[in-house]
Structures are given as structure tokens and as C-alpha cells.
């Protein structure tokens, strides 16, 4: 395992500068987001040749793009919004060959129409679950066509908000192309972010999902009543225990550091994870 970075968290004016900065931190693996070049996470259009340009620029810098962000609100209550999300998702999937990337990342969405990272009680309705399954049925053939794996994160604000629901989602869909991104900070429900809960929560999540992990994120959470995310080494997540569980279940890919709000946090977060890994 090695630490990786999430491209939007580095603020640079060009792709060359972004990849050079990543390499300057001693990192060679990234999760790419098109907002780094297009100003949108899921662009309405992707110019012909752009994915190849990104892929070649990454290769020249010695950077591997292990995943690309394809997140959209899979249960948006407006069907036309979901249809547009599926259309844009296919643009991302089509770009993966040029990027040299085997995986698209997803989150399952919220009934909150203003912000898909905010909870809505409608996420608990049977109709929300049905919409998730219908959207998944639409995007799986796209993943199949382009030979891609879909990595899904359980998110506390989304319809799949617990490891139990993630297990049900995988089992219901039953596709080998649908796998899990394990982000330890996303496993804590409001009120659960206490040091004494860390290991039991991680152990429970891995017992349910460990065999289906395709990617790992290195985000932390601050102790407190809510869900205040932060960078590795600054919160309560025990990364020694987390990486030990990843190894136990056979994961040997990058840990994409995430939740970095200030560039001053990059070096300490990378150093924290490197100290544990090496």
C-alpha cells in the first residue's frame, strides 16, 4: 500500500502543475476528478482528446490514475436529473481508456435536492432504494461495455449510509463490477465519533465488506457529536488499525488521502500514513 492524493484538493492553475505538485509530495497515485481541468466534477461534455492528454501528462509526471470520480446523485427525486447524471457518467466511463484508469467512483445519493452530501429523511423511503437499484441497472451495462469497476462509498448522508446497507446493496445487485471504497471516516453515524468506538466500528465494517474492497480512502473524523471530517493524523481514526484490516482482507492498493482542507495539511497527512505503512 502507498498513499495517494485526490486531485481537486490541490489548487493549481494547470494540469502540469497539479501533477508536478503531487509528485513533489512524493506521491505517485491519484484519484482524478475532472473538476481539476474542466471546472465541473461531471462535465456536460468532454472535449475529444482531453482524456488522452490527461493520461499522457500523468504518465510523463510518473503519476498513475487509479480511479476517476463519476459521482452523481443516483436517487435525485427528479428523474430528469438522474437521467442527466447517467449521461454524464457515461462520458466519464468513455474517458477511462484515455486516462489509463480502470475504476469509476460513485456515491449513492440523497433525496436532498440542494446538496447530495446532506441527509434527507426521504433516503429511508422504499422508493429511494428502488430508484438506486434502477439507476444502478442503467450504469452497470456502461461499466461492462468499457470494462470498468464501479467503486461505491457508503456515506452517512446518502441512501447507502451504513455497512449493513452497503452489504445489502452489493448482494441485491449481484454484479462483480460493483465494489466498495472503504473510507474509515464515513463509517461513523452522528454521535458515534468517539475514540472508544473506532476499532469496533472499523471491525464491523470490514467483517461485512472486507472481501469486496476495491479502493481505500484515508480520511479522518474529529471526535464530537456530528461528522466533522479532517485529514489523516488529525482525527480519531486509528490508521494503524485501519491499514492492518486492509492487509488482513488482502487489499494492497493505494490509500487516497482525502478530507484535506488546507495545503499545509498535505505533508503531515502523507507523513502520518507513510510512517505506518513503511
Query: pLDDT (tens digit, 0 to 9) for every residue of the chain, 278 residues total?
Result: 999 999 999 999 999 999 999 999 999 999 999 999 998 999 999 999 999 999 999 999 999 999 999 999 999 999 999 999 999 999 999 999 999 999 999 999 999 998 888 899 999 999 999 999 999 999 999 999 999 999 999 999 999 999 999 999 999 999 999 999 999 999 999 999 999 999 999 999 999 999 999 999 999 999 999 899 999 999 999 999 999 999 999 999 999 999 999 999 999 999 999 999 99
Contacts of 9 (CB under 8 A, 6+ apart): 258, 260
Tell me whether residue 72 is in a domain: yes
Tell me whether residue 232 is in a domain: no
Tell me whether residue 103 is in a domain: yes
Tell me whether residue 195 is in a domain: no
Tell me whether residue 212 is in a domain: no
- C-alpha cell of 128? 429511494
Tell me whether residue 208 is in a domain: no
CATH of the domain at 118: 3.20.20.150
Beta bridge partner(s), residue 180? 152, 213
Our count of domains for the chain comes to 1
| CA distances to 109, 160, 166, 203, 218 from 231, in Å | 23, 23, 24, 21, 8
Closest of 239, 237, 229, 230 to residue 274, by C-alpha: 239
> What residues make up the domain containing 145?
2-184+256-277
Tell me whether residue 203 is in a domain: no
Cα distance between residue 207 and residue 196, in whole Å: 18
Tell me whether residue 136 is in a domain: yes
Cα distance between residue 272 and residue 275, in whole Å: 5
Amino acid at each position: 500500500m502507498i498513499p495517494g492524493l485526490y486531485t481537486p484538493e490541490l489548487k493549481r492553475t494547470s494540469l502540469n502543475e497539479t501533477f508536478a505538485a503531487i509528485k513533489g509530495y512524493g506521491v505517485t497515485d491519484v484519484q482524478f476528478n475532472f473538476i481539476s481541468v474542466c471546472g465541473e466534477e461531471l462535465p456536460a461534455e468532454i472535449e475529444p482528446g482531453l482524456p488522452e492528454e490527461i493520461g499522457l501528462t500523468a504518465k510523463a509526471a510518473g503519476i498513475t490514475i487509479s480511479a476517476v470520480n463519476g459521482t452523481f446523485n443516483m436517487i435525485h427525486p427528479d428523474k430528469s436529473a438522474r437521467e442527466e447524471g447517467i449521461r454524464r457518467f457515461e462520458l466519464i466511463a468513455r474517458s477511462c481508456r484515455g486516462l489509463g484508469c480502470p475504476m469509476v467512483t460513485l456515491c449513492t445519493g440523497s433525496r436532498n435536492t440542494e446538496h447530495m452530501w446532506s441527509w434527507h429523511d426521504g433516503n429511508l423511503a422504499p422508493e429511494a432504494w428502488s430508484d438506486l437499484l434502477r439507476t444502478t441497472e442503467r450504469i452497470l451495462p456502461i461499466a461492462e461495455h468499457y470494462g470498468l469497476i464501479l467503486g461505491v462509498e457508503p456515506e452517512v448522508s446518502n441512501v447507502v449510509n451504513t455497512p449493513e446497507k452497503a452489504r445489502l446493496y452489493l448482494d441485491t445487485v449481484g454484479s462483480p463490477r460493483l465494489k466498495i471504497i472503504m473510507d474509515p471516516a464515513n463509517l461513523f453515524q452522528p454521535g458515534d465519533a468517539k475514540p472508544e468506538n473506532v476499532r469496533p466500528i472499523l471491525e464491523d465494517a470490514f467483517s461485512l465488506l472486507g472481501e469486496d474492497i476495491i479502493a481505500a480512502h484515508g480520511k479522518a473524523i474529529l471526535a464530537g457529536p456530528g461528522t466533522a471530517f479532517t485529514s489523516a493524523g488529525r482525527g480519531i481514526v486509528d490508521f494503524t488499525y485501519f491499514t492492518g484490516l486492509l492487509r488482513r482482507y488482502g487489499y494492497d492498493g493505494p490509500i487516497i488521502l482525502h478530507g484535506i482542507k488546507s495545503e499545509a495539511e498535505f505533508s503531515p497527512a502523507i507523513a502520518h500514513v507513510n510512517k505506518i505503512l513503511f
